[in-house]
């Protein structure tokens, strides 16, 4: 079994389950309340499938008013609430507890307003990430953050985790692209934070809400920035005979001031698996591969590719191939975006999510190899190199007793290394349950206390997704 | 006298003044403590000179440790603290109270680290805005946010107010360019928030701190994003015979998806004053003038100017002039950046700072004219049109009894109009004392209560710049 410690469920809540369900039934349409065990089981885990727990009940409200009524009722009853988007969290962000009600936003999926003059879109929080771009592509616009799970993941989850993606190097992550939210607090009050216009008076609660992992409230609507589609875009592949040379090349490109749309990194194990799955045209004879995408007019694309090629030459790439067609570009990206799924076909894995200053890439890549070798585990690296957001996949066999614990230990060592060189525990996946107990390596008790004071100020009884993010020890409640 | 209500000073603090000063003297070098009335008078106001109050004392610490010692002592004594950068706030953000100690950061002005590989600079908070760019210009980099007061204003003040500037349309405002801070809490504890690497685990206190107007802590160091200098840049002037046509042209450019580096707007009164002061080459026969700057390679500049010209043609500009030389470009920007100073030579003014969705520009400009005419006051408009950040200057004569109150009333009406069309009370100047009582028009009591709970969580006794931002009525303390 895993080393993750789940808090003991509140027996008083479990004992009142029938009354709680009856109370919820009075507030919701019948189809919005899930109580049978076999149906609740669908919500027992998210994309971090190593951890599972069937929740007390599941509600799927259709409106902000219903969310408000549900939270008001549950907070009065002292029942915990775990908000859930599409359940694609890789950090256990949507993992329930036995005494918690899961609140899914999947039925709130309407596009509410499109305003290209002001470059905004307003959506309900259950709209998928790709659904946002889909609603404005025909107008020449798109929504920039693009997690690999974008076909499934929701804006609600993107906001909770401050999600990134391959193209966030140029356009920023979720927090840079959300202008406002409608959010329901734990006592049922509905607040509007931010909005269509620049900045906002008073304290910036919007920045606080983005990335708060469902711990401050439930977001039901969001106003998002949409951007004009680029005239054109082109990926190139660049292969190296060592991770060090490849990492140094990335640091040199970023250090030169060029900001491509994306710089993605794959090591040999990742290349092999992705190529077998997607036939992307990746070279199989290199230790490390970069996918670098630039965009703009034809002249800009040519200019940027020329400058990047010149910088890269100093690091002796053994492959250098610019995409020659739309089909080739699509294949290159399909390989990258399906990487986690492809890897899942051949092994169980823990997907880490540390960030580091770009200049430390070579050193940290070597460190990751050493750490995994020390535990006798394989590792595959697929990540957003341009902004230093690493995704080492620590491979293991879940059916082999003790391997999950080894993978967890290796993952923890990797994240500690990221923090040591000046980086962070998580770039875009969130802390969740996975990295909760590692927070003490990033923050001292003073830092954590400040964060928890803010949590307590907005959720005094710690009912919102409480078993996540903060170490179980040292909490105020 | 002004309508701004100052809270009554705490008599118990005033009575203990000698003991408080003796306590501060034990913690600071002699040159860091200012107690004489004639010297304290230099800190009685900021750039919103309509309001003045001499503080209890002024401290100018040289290190984070001294800041920590001072705050620990003052919080134990129950003494209020008003942090101050360079005192360029246009909203009274640095206005003291009689029972408060002003804590100025001007002696903490060292550049601590420059790292172009990772595109960051680390500075003490008293470094001026232009000083940051000045430290990296020779390396081919710059710091993007550029308030008009950039020669004087400090990074501390920029962070407190989430400052913007003419070039923030493309590069974002302060919150988009700050990666981390070292901050001293009111009890003297020192926290590190954010850092050099992407994102951060846990709650995003960094976003919360930026724009918090000195109400959560005192920032003593900051890690900032630096960007590569563009290959070239060129401003163009575009004049219109009506504010409506000019506003509609801005909305059309932004709506097309083009994002110039800057789109600045001036109306006829502003053009006249700025041209007389700076000899910038502005046309004097137009009702409204845009300064639009684009940047990039020569080819990109030509392309962008061509596309903007085509869009603008539909709005019948009567002047269209692209800068032909470095000298001409410098003169165009000198006129804009000295606008507030130039205006101050001919009239007293209240500088408003509302933001609106860009699409509402024509409607709101008409509304501003009507409001000021209704009070019998002149108005000049000079602002960041591209991101909808208005700066109407409501002109008045401070020596004429009753005129300040009229200007305040007109300003309040203008800001209410901004909020009505979906905008905000303040884009970059902050709430300060100036807009404190207007917050009820932006936020309902539920919204304000959430913000104040966060303030209370981090500053339980409300000692940090307490008479600002939140309406005096309805506070928890």
Residue B222 pLDDT class (50, 70, 90 cuts): very high
Shortest distance between the Cα of A422 and any Cα of chain B, in A, equals 7
Q: Is the domain of A223 the same as that of A121?
A: yes
Identify which of B201, B258, B355 has the shortest CB distance to residue A199.
Answer: B355
pLDDT band at A357 (very low <50, low <70, confident <90, very high): confident
The CA-atom distances, in angstroms, between B42 and each of A38, A261, B62, B91, B399 are 72, 49, 19, 17, 22
**What is the model's pLDDT at position B1?**
36
Judged against a pLDDT cut of 70, whether residue A2 lies above it is answered with no
Residue with the larger pLDDT of the pair A114 and A338: A114
Which residue in A has a C-alpha nearest to residue B436's C-alpha?
A202
- Candidates B201, B427, B447, B462, partner chain A, best to mutate (most A CBs within 10 A): B201
Write the residue in B228, B427, B439 that is nearest to A202 by C-beta: B439
pLDDT of residue B339: 87
Domain termination residue (choose one: A368, A400, A420): A420
Substitution target from A190, A203, A210, A421 for chain B, most B beta carbons within 10 A: A203
Nearest to A57 by CA among A27, A88, A32, A90: A32
Question: Per the CB < 8 Å rule, is B201 touching A424?
Answer: yes
Least confident of A161-165, B17-21, B255-259: B255-259
- Could B119 and A200 be called an inter-chain contact, meaning their C-beta atoms sit closer than 8 Å? no
Q: Which residue in the set A192, A199, A426 is minimally distant from B426, CB to CB?
A: A199
pLDDT of residue A1: 36
CA distance B362 to chain A (A): 13
Return the percentage of chain A with pLDDT > 90, whole number.
75
Q: Of the ranges A79-83, A342-346, B71-75, which one carries the lowest mean pLDDT score?
A: A342-346
- Cross-chain CB nearest to A195 (options B422, B439, B448): B422
Nearest CA in chain A to B212: A203
Q: How far is A441 from chain B (nearest CA, A)?
A: 11
Residue B22 has pLDDT above 60, yes or no: yes
Specify if A448 maps to a domain. no
- Compute the mean pLDDT over every residue in chain A, rounded to the nearest whole number: 92
Residue B241's CB is within 10 A of a number of other CB atoms, namely 16
- Nearest-10 Cα torsion for A304, A308, A311, A317: -160
pLDDT, position B338: 85
Q: Do B211 and A228 touch (CB under 8 A)?
A: no
Q: What is the pLDDT of residue B362?
A: 84
Say how far apart CA A80 and CA A78 lie, in whole Å. Answer: 7
Residues A259 and A333 in one domain: yes
Distance in angstroms (rounded) separating the CA atoms of residues B59 and B80: 13
Mean pLDDT of chain B: 92
Q: A70 or A352: whose pLDDT is higher?
A: A70
Last residue of a domain, one of B420, B448, B472: B420
- Tokens encoding A204: 């910036």
Is the residue at A458 inside a domain? no
> Does residue A262 sit within a domain?
yes
**Contact between B447 and A119 using a beta-carbon 8 Å cutoff:** no
B361/chain A closest Cα distance in angstroms: 11
Closest Cα in chain A, distance from residue B208 (Å):
5
Q: Are residues B91 and B121 in the same domain?
A: no
Does the pLDDT value for residue A4 go beyond 80?
no
The predicted structure's pLDDT at residue A340: 83
Does the structure show a pLDDT above 80 at A437?
yes
Mean pLDDT of B268-297: 93
Which chain A residues contact residue B201 at CB under 8 A?
Answer: 424-426, 431, 435, 439, 442-443, 469
CB atoms B210 and A211 under 8 Å: no
Q: Mean pLDDT across the stretch A26-35?
A: 97
The pLDDT of residue A212 is 96
Q: Is the pLDDT of residue A126 over 60?
A: yes
B325 plus B244 within the same structural domain? yes
Among B202, B228, B457, beta carbon nearest to A439: B202
Q: Are residues B122 and B212 in the same domain?
A: yes
Could you report the per-residue pLDDT of B165-212, keeping only the tens digit for each? 888 888 989 999 999 999 999 999 999 998 877 767 788 899 999 999
B113-144 pLDDT tens trace: 999 888 999 999 999 999 999 999 999 999 99
Q: Which residue of B has its CA nearest to A227?
A: B257
| Most B-contacting residue of A198, A417, A456, A460 (CB-CB within 10 A), to test interface | A198
Nearest alpha carbon to residue B468 among B105, B95, B87, B77: B95
Q: Is the pLDDT of residue A7 over 90?
A: no
Residue where a domain stops, chosen among B104, B130, B146: B104
pLDDT reported for residue B337: 84
Domain that holds residue B304: 232-340
Whether residues A389 and A296 share a domain: the answer is no
How far is A387 from chain B, CA to nearest CA, in Å?
A: 7
Q: For tokens 């100073």, what's the residue?
A: B341
Whether residue B80 is contained in a domain is answered as yes
Give the strand pairing for A218-225 and A120-124: antiparallel
Instruction: Specify the pLDDT at position B259.
Output: 87
A257 shares a domain with A157: no
Chain B's closest residue to A139, CA to CA, is B256
Q: Indicate yes or no: CB of A117 within 8 angstroms of CB of B422.
A: no
**Are B304 and B357 in a shared domain?**
no
Q: Closest chain A residue to B445 measured between Cα atoms? A: A191
Nearest to A193 by CA among A180, A179, A211, A174: A180
Residues of A in contact with B256 (CB under 8 A): 228
Question: Looking at the predicted structure, is the pLDDT value of residue A3 above 60?
Answer: no
Residues of B in contact with A200 (CB under 8 A): 424, 442
pLDDT value at position B4? Answer: 64
Lowest mean pLDDT, pick from A17-21, A336-340, B417-421: A336-340
Question: B384: nearest CA in chain A?
Answer: A198
pLDDT given for residue A201 in this prediction = 76
Q: Provide the 3-class DSSP secondary structure of residue A80.
A: strand
DSSP bridge pairs for B259: none
Structural domain contains residue A429: no
Instruction: Give me the CATH number covering residue A60.
Output: 3.30.43.10
Rounded to an integer, the average pLDDT of B17-23 is: 97
Cβ contacts of B355 on chain A, cutoff 8 Å: 197-199
pLDDT at B2 over 60: no
* Whether B141 and A191 lie within 8 Å, measured CB to CB: no
With 60 as the cut, is the pLDDT of residue B257 above it? Answer: yes
A375 and A329 both lie in a single domain: no
Q: What is the pLDDT of residues A373-427, one digit of tens each?
A: 999 999 999 989 988 899 999 999 988 999 989 999 999 999 999 999 999 999 8
Q: How far off is chain A from B239, nearest CA to CA, in Å? A: 22
**Minimum-distance CB partner of B359 among A117, A205, A446:** A117
Assigned domain for A428 exists: no
B97 with B122, same domain: the answer is no
By Cβ distance, the residue of B201, B297, B455 closest to A203 is B455
Facing residue for B424 by CB, picked from A118, A201, A456: A201
Q: Are A352 and A334 part of one and the same domain? A: no
Of A189, A215, A447, the CB nearest to B191: A447
Whether residue B375 is found in the same domain as residue B393: yes
pLDDT single digits (tens) B57-70: 999 999 999 999 99
Residues of A in contact with B297 (CB under 8 A): 300, 303
Facing A204 at nearest CB: one of B195, B207, B388:
B207
Q: HSE-up of B84 (CA within 13 Å, CB side)?
A: 30
Number of structural domains found in chain B: 4
B21 found inside a domain: yes
CA distance A197 to chain B (A): 5
Angle at A331 between CA A295 and CA A250, to 5 degrees: 50
Domain CATH number, residue B303? 3.30.70.3450
Tell whether B461 is covered by a domain.
Answer: no
Residues of B in contact with A459 (CB under 8 A): none
Q: What's the CATH code of the domain at A407? A: 3.30.70.2740
């Amino acid at each position: 079994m895993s080393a993750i410690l789940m808090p003991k469920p509140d027996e008083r809540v479990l004992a009142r389950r029938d009354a709680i369900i009856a109370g919820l039934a009075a507030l919701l349409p019948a189809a919005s309340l899930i109580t049978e065990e076999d149906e609740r089981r669908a919500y027992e885990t998210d994309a971090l499938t190593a951890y599972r727990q069937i929740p007390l009940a599941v509600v799927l409200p259709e409106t902000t008013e219903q969310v408000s009524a549900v939270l008001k009722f549950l907070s009065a009853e002292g029942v915990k609430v775990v908000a859930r988007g599409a359940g694609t969290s890789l950090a256990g962000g949507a993992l329930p507890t036995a005494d918690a009600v899961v609140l899914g936003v999947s039925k709130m999926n309407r596009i509410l307003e499109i305003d290209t003059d002001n470059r905004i879109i307003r959506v309900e929080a259950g709209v998928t990430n790709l659904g946002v771009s889909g609603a404005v592509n025909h107008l020449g616009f798109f929504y920039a953050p693009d997690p690999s799970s974008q076909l499934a993941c929701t804006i609600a989850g993107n906001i909770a985790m401050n999600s990134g993606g391959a193209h966030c190097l140029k356009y920023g992550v979720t927090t840079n692209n959300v202008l406002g939210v409608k959010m329901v607090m734990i006592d049922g009050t509905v607040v509007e934070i931010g909005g269509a216009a620049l900045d906002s008076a008073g304290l910036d609660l919007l920045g606080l809400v983005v990335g708060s992992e469902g711990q401050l409230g439930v977001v039901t609507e969001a106003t998002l920035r949409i951007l004009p589609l680029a005239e054109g875009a082109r990926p190139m592949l660049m292969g190296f005979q060592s991770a060090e040379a490849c990492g140094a090349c990335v640091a040199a490109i970023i250090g030169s001031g060029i900001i491509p749309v994306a710089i993605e990194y794959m090591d040999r194990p990742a290349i092999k698996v992705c190529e077998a799955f997607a036939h992307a045209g990746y070279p199989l004879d290199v230790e490390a591969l970069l996918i670098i995408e630039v965009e703009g007019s034809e002249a800009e694309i040519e200019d940027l590719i020329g400058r990047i090629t010149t910088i890269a030459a100093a690091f002796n790439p053994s492959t250098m191939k610019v995409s020659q067609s739309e089909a080739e570009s699509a294949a290159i990206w399909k390989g990258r975006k399906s990487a986690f799924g492809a890897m899942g076909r051949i092994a169980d894995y823990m997907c880490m999510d540390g960030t580091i200053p770009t200049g430390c890439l070579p050193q940290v890549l070597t460190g990751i190899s050493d750490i995994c070798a020390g535990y006798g585990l394989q590792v595959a690296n697929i990540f957003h190199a341009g902004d230093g957001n690493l995704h080492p996949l620590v491979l293991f066999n879940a059916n082999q007793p003790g391997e999950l614990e080894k993978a967890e230990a290796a993952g923890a060592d990797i994240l500690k290394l990221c923090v040591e060189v000046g980086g962070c525990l998580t770039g875009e996946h969130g802390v969740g349950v996975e990295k909760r107990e590692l927070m003490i390596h990033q923050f001292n008790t003073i830092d954590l206390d400040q964060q928890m004071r803010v949590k307590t100020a907005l959720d005094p009884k710690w009912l919102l997704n409480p078993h996540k993010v903060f170490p179980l020890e040292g909490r105020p409640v």
